Amino acid sequence: MDTMQTYRLSGVAVPKDPRSMLDEICEHFVEHSDVQRTEKSVLLQNDIGTANITLADQRLLIELACPSEEALHLTRNMIAEHLFYFANEEPFELSWVNAAEVSRLPNLHEATVVSAEDVTPRMRRVKVACQDVTPFIGGDVHVRVLVPPKGRSPVWPGLGDDGRIAWPEGEDEITARVYTIRAVDPDRRELWIDFLQHPAPGVTTPGADFARDARPGDKIALIGPGGSLPKADNLLLAGDETALPAIARIAAEAPAECSIKAIIEVEDEDEEQPLPSKAAIEVHWLHRKTYLEENSERLQHTVKSAIATSTPGTYTWVACEKSDARTIRSYLKERGQDRKSQSVAWYWERGKASH
């Protein structure tokens, strides 16, 4: 007899164009979940639960089912954050039926800075101690790094009524940026996070500023992890410096039977890093300093060439600047590559604050 309890929650979303939002849900989540689509509904399934979203009377009816209360909170938050993102500036309402109050996020981990050091002239590594590093071992790799204001006791976020993260405001406002767990040291219960140092006139870099000024004993928090490691016999990994920590982590976790080709754009040879891996790995470094044009498209052209000559079944993982990512994603679509065998993300946008 199956005695496993299922935790459920219902919600209603009212977007300006429900059918268009349903399409966008399918388009996005196909890389992260098992997606089953009908004319008026979509079923999302992953390791932490299911979300059944149905179009009815110009509304989206949402039914969540998860194996634990924590998973239910995480799924609710995931759905809420994405739906508001898809709505952008258009009118949008989201409500939940009898949702529990969540004053502290279930996947929030407090951490303390242990050390900070330069790995290369433009990459700084911060090591933090965390009471439980188990969630970060061998699985998802991305976290939101939360940095409280200096001189104040941290006030960490919970969930708002609509399911989105309720961030502290005013004097308690915190800095939050997404980074990759570069490595996990279970014996020391430490996590390594690499921060690109890239000062530019008129561009704020709060994450990089934190890493530059971090001192042992500083308190931060991490939300996550999320963003699973790609699994395939053949991997094509590509990106610029912002993706280097993730590429290094993927390479480090890859099994011996895997074959990896990595294309990484950095400023110059001083920014190259060793990429230890059990897998067979070939690394092609691109040095931006040698380009004749300031905004060269060398990375996207090199990646497209590698895609065109890759072995059938190769998983393509790319993270870089927004316009480059869009070009590469369009190229994969033109070639008809299965969405489940690719992950293309933009980590920053030219002229915008991001790290």
- Which CATH number is 212's domain given? 2.40.30.10
One domain, residues 129 and 39: no
Q: Is 213 exposed, middle or buried (0-12, 13-18, 19+ CB in 10 A)?
A: exposed
Do both 80 and 112 map to the same domain? Answer: no
CATH code assigned at 245: 3.40.50.80
- The structure's pTM equals 0.88
| pLDDT over threshold 90, residue 110 | yes
Beta bridge partners of residue 219, listed in sequence order? 112
Write down the pLDDT at residue 139: 76
Do residues 199 and 262 both lie within one domain? no
Selection from 200, 210, 146, 134 nearest residue 173 by Cα: 146
Least confident of 72-86, 191-205, 239-253, 299-313: 191-205
Indicate if the pLDDT at residue 328 is higher than 90: yes
**Is 103 among the domain residues?**
no
Domain-terminating residue out of 199, 226, 253: 226
- Domain stop point among 67, 96, 125: 96
Flag whether 101 is in a domain: no
Of the ranges 39-48, 207-216, 345-354, which one carries the lowest mean pLDDT score?
Answer: 345-354
Do 130 and 202 have their domain in common? yes
- With cut-offs at 50, 70 and 90, classify the pLDDT of residue 133: very high
Looking at the structure, do residues 84 and 59 belong to the same domain, yes or no? yes
The reply to whether omega before 276 is within 30° of 0 (cis) is: no
- pLDDT higher than 60, residue 354: no
**Tens of pLDDT, residues 176-209:** 999 999 999 999 999 999 999 976 656 678 889 9
Q: Is 2 within a domain? A: no
Q: Is 19 contained in some domain?
A: yes
Q: Label residue 107 by pLDDT band (50, 70, 90).
A: very high
Interval 94-106: pLDDT, tens: 999 999 889 889 8
> Taking the CB of residue 9, how many other CB atoms lie within 10 A of it?
23
**Residue ranges making up the domain that contains 41:** 7-96
Q: For tokens 């980590």, what's the residue?
A: 347
Mean pLDDT of 218-230: 91
Domain contains 353 = no
Statement to judge: residues 242 and 210 lie in one domain: no
Q: Mean of the pLDDT values across residues 292-301?
A: 83
If phi > 0 it is left, if psi is from -120 to 50 it is alpha, else beta; for residue 39 that is alpha
Q: How do residues 150-169 score in pLDDT, each as one tens digit?
A: 888 999 999 999 999 999 99
Domain count, the chain: 3
Query: Of 96, 130, 155, which residue constitutes the final position of a domain?
Result: 96
- Please report whether residue 262 resides in a domain: yes
Q: What is the mean pLDDT of residues 306-325?
A: 94
- Domain shared by 49 and 114, yes or no: no
Same domain, 136 and 204: yes
Report d(CA 335, CA 325) in Å as an integer. Answer: 15
